[in-house]
Amino acid sequence: VKHLLGIKYLNEKDIQLIFETADHFKEVINRSIKKVPSLRDITIANIFFENSTRTKLSFELAEKRLSADVINFSAGQSSVKKGETLIDTVNNILSMKVDMVVMRHPNPGAGIFLSKHVKASIVNAGDGAHEHPTQALLDSYSIREKLGDVGGKNVVIVGDILHSRVALSNIFALKLQGANVKVCGPRTLLPKYIESLGVGVETDLRKALNWCDVANMLRIQNERLDISYFPTTREYTQQFGVNKKLLDSLDKKIVIMHPGPINRGVEITTDVADSQQSIILNQVENGVAIRMAVIYLLASKIK
Ligand code: CP
C-alpha cells in the first residue's frame, strides 16, 4: 500500500504492524535518541488547507525524527488564494522532487481524489467529516498502552458523530481490533447510517459511561454545523458533557480520551480533562510514534 487514505482501507494485520513499528520508535525516543537516520533520502510536504495544532506539528516532528527533509505549506498563505487548483498546487510541489504528501483538507475524499491524480504517496491528515486515520491509530494505540489490549474493550464515542472524521476512523479501527463500540450524542448529531457500521447507539450519557471501559469525548464541530441541527451549547453540556461529579458517581473508573482541541466546560470539564483518568496528553505523545511508524512503513514502498 502506497497511501494512507483511511482506516477503511486497512486490515487488522496492518494496524498491528503499525503498532509494533510505533512501539519500536517510542522505545527509541524514550531512550532520548530523538533522531534516527531511516529516511535521509525522503522529502515530505505537509500541506494543510485547514487549521491544525497537534496533527501538523506531530507529523512534522515525526518526519524530522526520521531524518526526512520537510517542507510545510499552509493554504492560507499560498497561491491557492490566487485561484491555483489542488492538483496544480501539488504537482508544482512534487516537481521539486518531493516523495510524500501529508494533506489536511476540508473536503471529504480530497486525499482519495489526489491519490488518483498525482504520483506521490498520500497520507490523509483529516479530510472534512470523512476520515482522520492517524488520529484513530494513535487513539487505539493509547487504549492498548493503558489497558493492554483493544480487543474486547467497551468504547463509547460521545458527541458530534455526524461531523466527526475522528468518530468514523475510530469506529473502523476499533471494530477491526474486536472492541465493542457505542456512540452517544443527540439524535441530531448521529448519522442515519450509524447502526449499519455495527455500533450501538445510546442517548443516555450515564448509561453509556456505566457500560464503557473508555469514553472518547468529541468536540462539537461548530465549523461544520448547520445550526438548525444543534441543541444549544448549554443543553448539550447538560446532557452530554462529562464532569467530575458524574465520573465519580459511576460504578467503575473509566478511561477518558479526547482528540483535541478541547472546549473546556462544554464536552468536558477541566477537572476531568486534567484528571488521573484522562490520557489526553498520552494520546498527543503517542501521535508522534504512530506518525513515525506510518511514514516509515509507507516510505519503504517508495524507496
Ligand atoms: N486532533 C486533531 O486533529 O487536532 P488538530 O486539529 O489540532 O490537528
165 and 57 fall within a common domain: no
Alpha carbon distances (Å) from 153 to 15, 77, 284: 17, 44, 21
CATH, residue 248: 3.40.50.1370
Task: Please work out whether the CB of residue 287 comes within 6 Å of at least one atom of ligand 1.
Answer: no
pLDDT band at 301 (very low <50, low <70, confident <90, very high): confident
128 and 165 fall within a common domain: no
Mean per-residue pLDDT for 277-290?
A: 98
Whole-number Å distance between alpha carbons of 101 and 98: 8
Is residue 202 a part of any domain in this protein?
yes
Beta bridge partners of 216: 157, 257
The DSSP string of 30-57 is HTT-----TTTT-EEEEEESS--SHHHH
pLDDT confidence of residue 209: 98
Asked if residue 238 belongs to a known ligand binding site, the reply is: no
Per-residue pLDDT of 271-281, as tens digits, reads: 999 999 999 99
pLDDT band at 229 (very low <50, low <70, confident <90, very high): low
Asked if residue 135 belongs to a known ligand binding site, the reply is: yes
Is residue 33 a part of any domain in this protein?
yes
Q: In the chain, what percentage of residues exceed pLDDT 90?
A: 92
Q: How far is the CA of 251 from the centre of ligand 1 (A)?
A: 32
ipTM over 0.85? The verdict is: yes
Task: Please work out whether the CB of residue 55 comes within 6 Å of at least one atom of ligand 1.
Answer: yes
Is residue 2 a part of any domain in this protein?
no
260 and 137 fall within a common domain: yes
pLDDT confidence of residue 220: 87
Per-residue pLDDT of 133-156, as tens digits, reads: 999 999 999 999 999 999 999 999
Residue 303: pLDDT over 70: no
- How is residue 27 written as a grid cell? 522505545
Asked if residue 55 belongs to a known ligand binding site, the reply is: yes
Q: Domain tally for the chain? A: 2
Whole-number Å distance between alpha carbons of 171 and 198: 9
DSSP code of 279? -
Task: Please work out whether the CB of residue 282 comes within 6 Å of at least one atom of ligand 1.
Answer: no
Residue 222: pLDDT over 90: no
Q: How far is the CA of 201 from the centre of ligand 1 (A)?
A: 25
Q: Which residue, among 283, 272, 288, 254, has the nearest Cα to 30 in the 3D structure?
A: 288
Per-residue pLDDT of 164-203, as tens digits, reads: 999 999 999 999 999 999 999 999 899 999 999 999 999 9
Whole-number Å distance between alpha carbons of 11 and 17: 10
Asked if residue 104 belongs to a known ligand binding site, the reply is: yes
95 and 140 fall within a common domain: no
pLDDT confidence of residue 227: 60
- Ligand 1 pocket test target in 53, 59, 164, 290 with most atoms within 8 Å of CB: 53
pLDDT band at 226 (very low <50, low <70, confident <90, very high): low
Q: How far is the CA of 259 from the centre of ligand 1 (A)?
A: 7
